[in-house]
Amino acid sequence: MEKRGTVLMRRYELGRLLGQGTFAKVYQARSIASGQSVAIKVIDKEKILRVGMIDQIKREISVMRLVHHPNVVELYEVMATKSKIYFAMEYVRGGELFNKVAKGRLKEEVARKYFQQLIAAVDFCHSRGVYHRDLKPENLLLDEKGDLKVSDFGLSALGASRRDDGLLHTTCGTPAYVAPEVINKKGYDGAKADIWSCGVILFVLMAGCLPFHDSNLMEMYRKISRGDFKCPYWFPSDVKKLLIRLLDPNPTTRITMSKIIENPWFRKGYRPMDPQAQMKRDESLGDVRRAFATDHEGEEEKKQEPCSSSSAVKPAPLNAFDLISRSPSFDLSGLFEEENERKAELARFTTQQPTEAIVSKLEEIAKTERFRVKKEKEGVVKLEGSREGRKGQLAVEAEIFEVTPALYVVEVKKAAGDTLEYERFYHQGMKPSLKDIVWKWQNGEQSPPQPGMPSHPPPLLPPAHTQHD
């Protein structure tokens, strides 16, 4: 057990215990370097290993790395020993919003302020592909200025968690705040489920009680599934109308985030966040891996750290089936997505330049555009932007395939960030810089022939009538 006055990692001096659960304790602490007050979450590694919660803790760290917003509790760093994991987080002094609501309903203007800050934070999370899935007053903290901070991302999901149907399927959350489609276990849109929970929270702030409540849990679920609730007489009519749209049991007709923000009642006194004012921190997940690694695994990780050396990149082999799948004649993706969207997301070119020259050119582009270079996997080079964009930092992937020792295919696509920002970077910076090594683009556009290169490249696919083994 950590004692008051204990110094962790020579960085933080522990103070009083703020709270504890089955697997973790939270302490107030002080940064020795800056004197700043922080909250330290101490997680017992053995306990979470025993109950299989490793992925949940990893996901929580990963998510908090992605969401840097004034109304979200900030994660400063993650540390670990052989037996413990430590989160150093923003210390929010005002306690839970739940404690404020437990004393009775709030005035309309106060409820609206908290709801505005909640929506601003959740909308930002959604723009980064993060769905909280356990929004409730107990997970909303207040700082010394009375501003709201969303916390506890332990049940959150990333967009990558969606199945082939594009939906999430894990049933989780707190019963009184959970959306009907989550209860029905048929798959759900994480954004729409969070919007439902925000609607329940707004009702609680205005009424001081829950919209769906029953001592019998199954009866409460039936009320939730029907959207069966009544607003108290003191609710303004525009709040009632907004709640009917927030607590619509049909997720397809439920109000969207953009419509909430356009709502006249919501917009009173609303001050949207300046995108340039977002907090910027390192988003690397190295500390996620290190927190769960044994000493041996840590050494292996060091060997596998991303490397910008061009000699370290080996192209992936491209066989006949790969070629066919990349041929426009055999491209079935049009059945599922718009042509313009595909063009915006993926570009492909052939080159006779060796892998070293391709990677060297990508590094040159990264340096000019102030991007970081990382080797992600075999044949993949990732360029990561250093500036925060509309949907986070832009990341571009270039995957190199070897067709023959003298012919390579390179696929360039957006890995993260805003599509318009990607298109601007690609067309204005990346594509012009690649002309020295490009033989032919997928759309037929050809770069000027380079010395020693034939004027017409061979086709990627043989004619349809040619027979092969």
Residue 79's nearest CA partner among 286, 320, 274 is: 286
User: Mind giving me the DSSP string for 94-154?
Assistant: T-BHHHHHTT-PPPHHHHHHHHHHHHHHHHHHHHTTEE-S--SGGGEEE-TTS-EEE---T
Amino acid letter at 412? V
* Cβ pair 290, 80 in contact under 8 A: yes
Catalytic residue among 44, 55, 123, 134: 134
Q: What angle do CA 396, 399, 403 make, to 5 degrees?
A: 155
- Whether 214 sits among the annotated catalytic residues: the reply is no
Looking at residue 254, what DSSP letter applies? S
- Burial of 2 from C-beta contacts in 10 A (0-12 / 13-18 / 19+): middle
Rama region for 385: left / alpha / beta (φ>0; ψ in -120 to 50; rest)? beta
Looking at residue 274, what DSSP letter applies? P
Could you give the C-alpha distances from 264 to 239, 308, 311, 392, in angstroms and in order?
10, 51, 58, 28
* Cβ pair 355, 407 in contact under 8 A: no
Tokens of residue 221, six digits: 């679920």
Could you give the C-alpha distances from 140 to 159, 214, 290, 321, in angstroms and in order?
23, 24, 29, 52
Residue 156's nearest CA partner among 186, 183, 126 is: 126
Q: How far apart are CA 444 and CA 436, in angstroms?
A: 16
3-state secondary structure of 73: coil
* Cβ pair 14, 2 in contact under 8 A: yes
Which phi and psi (to 5°) does residue 43 adopt? -110, 130
Residue 425's nearest CA partner among 389, 378, 453 is: 389
Q: How far apart are CA 137 and CA 117, in angstroms?
A: 13
41 is in an annotated binding site: yes
Tokens of residue 151, six digits: 């916390």
Q: How far apart are CA 260 and CA 360, in angstroms?
A: 47
Could you give the C-alpha distances from 21 to 25, 26, 194, 466, in angstroms and in order?
6, 9, 24, 68
Residue ranges of the annotated binding site for ATP are: 41
Residue ranges of the annotated binding site are: 41
Give catalytic residues, as residue numbers.
134
